[in-house]
Amino acid sequence: MSDFSEELIESKTEDDQEESYVFSGTGMSFPWLQNHIGTIATGGKKEKDFAQTTSACLSFIQEALLKHQWQQAAEYMHSYLQILEDSDSHKRQAAPEIIWKLGSEILFYHPKSNMETFNTFADRMKNIGVMNYLKVRFHINLYPVFHIEVKKPERNLFHSRNARYSEKANSHIVFLNFFRLFLGILQFLFFSKAPLELTLTDEDDYAYNAASQSMLNHSCKTSVNLGALIQTPGVWDPFVKSYVEMLEFYGDRDGAREVLTNYAYDEKFPSNPNAHVYLYNFLKREKAPREKLISVLKILYQIVPSHKLMLEFHSLLRKSEKEDHRKLGLEVLFGVLDFAGCTKNITAWKYLAKYLRQILMGNHLAWVQEEWNSRKNWWPDFHFSSFWAKNDWKEDKTLACEKALVAGILLGKGCRYFRFISKQDDEVLRKKIKRIKKSVENHSIVNPGL
Amino acid sequence: MDLEEAKEFKERCTQCAAVSWGLTDEGKYYCTSCHNVTERSKEVINTGAIPNTKIQAINRGLKRKRKLEKGWDWYVCEGFQQILYQQAEALKTLGVGPELKDEVLHNFWKRYLQKSKQAYCKNPVYTRGRKATVLEDNPSHSDWDSEPDLLSDFSCPSFVESGPDSQLDSRTQKPFPISKASQSETASICSGSLDGVKYSQQKEKGIVKMTVPRTLAFCYLSLLWQRETITLSDLLRFVEEGHIPYINAFQHFPEEMKLYGRDKGIFAIESWPAYEDIYKKMIEIAKFLDLPRFPDITEDCYLHPDILCMKYLMEVNLPDEMNDLTYQVVKMTGIGEVDFLTFDPIAKMAKTVKYDIQAVAVIVIVLKLLFLLDDNLEWTLSNIAEKYNEKNKEDKPWFDFRKWYQVMKKSVDEKKQKWEEARAKYVWKSEKPLYHSSIDRAVVYKRREMVVSLQKQFSALTDSAPTVEKKSPSSFQFNWTEGDSAGTCFHGHSLQGILKKKGQSLTTKNSLYWLSTQKFCRSYCKHVTTYEESNFSLSYQFIINLFSFLLRIKASSLHEEVSLIEKRLFKRKYSKTQKKSRSRKRRKY
């Protein structure tokens, strides 16, 4: 609703494209040309005062809306409605749309208006011929949502869905989906309010039964709406989330799992990392076997190697008995640290330092070298420059220590980063640095002798 | 949603042209594709099902009434007569003498009917269709010479007396042209009046056709004839403020005078009258009517520049002392002479004076003489006046242009804002909607109904106060009272700081002057000068805009008038072709 004026302009251009806007080749438009062209279109005839005052009236309304003067806006609206009787059929036909938009805006915020007035207004709109009546109904239902009066708005919506829509079918289909979404959300809102009500009522009460009954009813309807929607390929993140939440609430775990699996794995859907995140979180809540969790995150790893779940993925892999899983664990850590956004992720560095030691102790030098070979050209400058050494030391000494250990292992004692950190004399960390020096000497993949 | 039941209704929807009807709860048809609800309701076939006979009776009654869209037989000129009648009545309530309506306007109108061969002549245009009943008893009045006779004779009662009665009288005498109605309706060109179609097509040379704006020209002509204290700008302002019927004047026609079809083009007006337009029409009509020279406009008439200048000086809050200066300018230019001021339509170049614009132009010239208005001198003079006023608080204060500007600017801006808002809120559409043809009728009425109900809804949201309160008519738009605490009234201020003694007389301190127009356009394009705002000083722009707002005219026409008077004032300068733009000018006071 906030970019209402934009909408208005859009709708205007849709309605009378041929006369009001001039598009240059670059897709730019010159709104100031509009007036000139307007006079040309009327054949140089003087604009009637009626047309003048109504357009002045329109700008007064817009100004009032901008300043949130609903009272004044309503006053001008009273006069602006005359445009419905304009003898210029072009203007007359464009008017309902404008009136609907302005009017609903005014009624939306006007302190004296309520659901009832809003409804009557919308009802009249259908009589003056607002083209997309479904949109009108949509707005009607927005009103209670914004005014926290959710009761049973869907009733109206269901009703309007039964109506027949003729030629404009194409745009309707698009809107219908949108509409379904909204419907689903609305029901979800109702649902999320309901548990609150339930806790307030006494359990033995008859009301409790009735309430829970109606809730079941709602969830039923919602699953129809959202379920149908989610079948359509697309990105439906918030809807899937709330749908699953609802399903889980009613204990329909299988249903939820199915929805999420479908959402994540169906090839018709666009690749969507969140789908996998949702599935993973769901499975985690379900305490699914590690194997399964790993397989979900594997896909996520392929899509977003820098995802924050990757650290969790790493710890899963680390614990795994399978060799290739453990190798993948190293890969994942390196992968995370490839990203500039993760350079200061202390956990990642800690994991890497610990894991490197662990792997080297396990005699898997080849794994490390494999990873390192592709990175040795740029990691030293990317992570282990003397600038970073100074910087890290200043900002976070623990991070600097972890990094120094990794640098020492990967680049040997001579590397700038390690040298800088090891030279630092710090009371608290002295012991730690000593330990680092030791483990570097033990594990470094660079042969110091060479 | 009884789609089954609605199947028998086969008409196309007026909104989307689909044929797909449902029935509403009230039994009305609505279009299922666009939700348009028709006026038509499903007829209840089984009347036995209705227990209440009263409902049946109402049902039948409504149906019969709809077919009867026939009112009285009336002619277009009668419509105009109605409007003129209303306007004359309105003028009377504004305080204009009753002679205006009964004698002057009445005669002008009769003369018009005669000249345009609609009545009061041997062979009026209508006699073929119907006898001009008004004429029957006095067929000989075809000449202006018989004026006294006409004046005493109220053979046109619908004008002088109340309209509806006379219509009823004459109705019995009129043979009803049966063929007409059915013919025109099939051709879908129709009109409520008998000759609406013909009238709108008629293009006879040499005849000034009556239009709604011309009714105002008639009003002004009679005001001028009576030398009433209403100028043209006042008249048009009263129209805009709704004190004189003009827009939707047909609303107040007797109910039996039905208007539709072509009548819409004739009587529906969607613009306010414009000064220049009405002015031209007035001259045109005066010439067409072949009117004699109008009564002299002498020094004691309201329209004389001296008096009008006094009025406008008061209106714009300028010192009374300026009256002497305007008097001088009027005298020097000769625009106060009777021959110049009196309107004579028979003269070769029929031309009347735009009294109000002229008076205002004189004031502008005086301001230029005093302050030069070059964005410099007026402020210097203001500084002097301000200092003087601070020192001598007891004396009569000197006129301070800057202070005056601040006061006026503020109040004019407020007025203008209010005026614009009032215009934006203006209710153009009548309660009685006009439609083009019987096919439109239902749609138009439906639309009207819709607008009214929507308006009701929005007016419920506003405060209970009516949207636009009606101002009581006044020839003054500003009200400055002397001695109010804010010191915003400048009427009593003196011009001492601006004038200086020279010998025995006073001259303006400022000895410079610049001409608003240096060279007049001599080609045949009819305009003598142009007004490009940015070419002029800001103070001049302000003053021109102030006055043109006051008179509701274009700034350019005031500028033109100023230039024309300057031309008279500085004849010598204009006759010598090569002169500097700033001519020196010394005047005695």
Cβ B327 vs Cβ B299: under 8 Å:
no
In this prediction, residue A134 carries a pLDDT of 62
Tell me which chain B residues have a C-beta less than 8 angstroms from the C-beta of A74.
458-459, 461-462
- B414-422: average pLDDT: 92
B39 pLDDT higher than 60:
yes
pLDDT digits (tens, 9 = 90+) for A22-46: 343 444 445 455 444 444 444 445 6
In this prediction, residue B160 carries a pLDDT of 42
B580 pLDDT higher than 80:
no
The verdict on a CB contact (< 8 Å) between B467 and A78 is yes
A223 pLDDT higher than 80:
no
Residue count of chain A: 450
Closest among B310, B315, B284, B273 to B412, alpha carbons compared: B315
In this prediction, residue B416 carries a pLDDT of 93
On whether any CB of chain B is under 8 Å from the CB of A408, the answer is no
In this prediction, residue B355 carries a pLDDT of 92
In this prediction, residue B134 carries a pLDDT of 41
A295 pLDDT higher than 60:
yes
More confident residue, A109 or B63: A109
B310 pLDDT higher than 90:
yes
Burial of B335 (0-12, 13-18, 19+ CB in 10 A): buried
- A268-292: average pLDDT: 85
In this prediction, residue B246 carries a pLDDT of 92
B53 pLDDT higher than 60:
no
In this prediction, residue B91 carries a pLDDT of 92
In this prediction, residue A22 carries a pLDDT of 38
pLDDT digits (tens, 9 = 90+) for B557-577: 999 999 989 888 888 777 664
Tell me which chain A residues have a C-beta less than 8 angstroms from the C-beta of B18.
166
- Strongest mean pLDDT among A185-194, A287-296, B539-548: B539-548
**Percentage of residues in chain B having pLDDT higher than 70:** 70
On whether any CB of chain B is under 8 Å from the CB of A84, the answer is yes
A400 pLDDT higher than 70:
yes
B547 pLDDT higher than 90:
yes
Residue B241 half-sphere exposure, CB side, CA atoms within 13 Å?
A: 20
More confident residue, A191 or B433: B433
Cβ A353 vs Cβ A405: under 8 Å:
yes
In this prediction, residue B466 carries a pLDDT of 53
In this prediction, residue B304 carries a pLDDT of 93
How high is the ipTM of this complex? 0.72
Question: What is the spatial distance between Cα A13 and Cα A356, in angstroms, rounded to a whole number?
Answer: 63
The verdict on a CB contact (< 8 Å) between B425 and A57 is yes
In this prediction, residue A6 carries a pLDDT of 40
The verdict on a CB contact (< 8 Å) between A117 and B428 is no
In this prediction, residue B135 carries a pLDDT of 37
B5 pLDDT higher than 60:
no
In this prediction, residue A40 carries a pLDDT of 46
Question: What is the spatial distance between Cα B424 and Cα B239, in angstroms, rounded to a whole number?
Answer: 16
**Average pLDDT over chain B, rounded to an integer:** 76
**Sole residue written with tokens 């009238």:** B199
pLDDT digits (tens, 9 = 90+) for B513-538: 888 887 787 767 667 788 888 889 99
Band (A151; pLDDT cuts 50, 70, 90): very low
In this prediction, residue B253 carries a pLDDT of 87
B112 pLDDT higher than 80:
yes
> A65 vs chain B: nearest CA distance in angstroms?
14
Band (B540; pLDDT cuts 50, 70, 90): very high
B127 pLDDT higher than 80:
no
A203 pLDDT higher than 60:
no
Helices (H), B94-209: 99, 106-115, 147-152, 157-160, 163-173, 178-186, 196-201
In this prediction, residue B183 carries a pLDDT of 42
Comparing B9-18, B174-183, B391-400, B449-458, the range with the smallest average pLDDT is: B174-183
In this prediction, residue B128 carries a pLDDT of 45
3-state class (DSSP) for residue A265: helix
Among B246, B461, B463, B552, which would you mutate to test the A interface (most chain A Cβ atoms within 10 Å of its Cβ)? B461
Band (B126; pLDDT cuts 50, 70, 90): low
Cβ A270 vs Cβ A234: under 8 Å:
yes
pLDDT digits (tens, 9 = 90+) for A126-138: 777 666 666 666 6
pLDDT digits (tens, 9 = 90+) for B254-302: 888 888 888 888 888 888 999 999 999 999 999 899 889 899 998 889 9
B357 pLDDT higher than 90:
yes
pLDDT digits (tens, 9 = 90+) for B425-439: 888 888 888 887 777
In this prediction, residue A42 carries a pLDDT of 44
Q: Which CB contacts under 8 angstroms, 24+ apart, belong to A145-154?
A: A145/A186, A145/A189, A146/A108, A147/A115, A149/A115, A150/A186, A150/A189, A150/A190, A150/A193, A153/A186, A154/A183, A154/A186, A154/A187, A154/A221
The verdict on a CB contact (< 8 Å) between B272 and A113 is no
In this prediction, residue A163 carries a pLDDT of 43
B400 pLDDT higher than 80:
yes
Comparing A117-121, B26-30, B87-91, the range with the smallest average pLDDT is: B26-30
Domain spans, chain A? 1-129, 364-450
On whether any CB of chain B is under 8 Å from the CB of A74, the answer is yes
Comparing A31-45, A297-311, B147-161, the range with the smallest average pLDDT is: B147-161
The verdict on a CB contact (< 8 Å) between B461 and A103 is no
Band (A441; pLDDT cuts 50, 70, 90): confident
In this complex, which of B35, B448, B460 lies closest to A127 when CB atoms are compared? B35
Question: What is the spatial distance between Cα A188 and Cα A153, in angstroms, rounded to a whole number?
Answer: 12
Query: How wide is the angle at C-alpha B125 spanned by C-alphas B120 and B127, nearest 5°?
Result: 85
B214 pLDDT higher than 90:
yes
Cβ B252 vs Cβ B79: under 8 Å:
no
On whether any CB of chain B is under 8 Å from the CB of A36, the answer is no
Question: What is the spatial distance between Cα A443 and Cα A405, in angstroms, rounded to a whole number?
Answer: 10
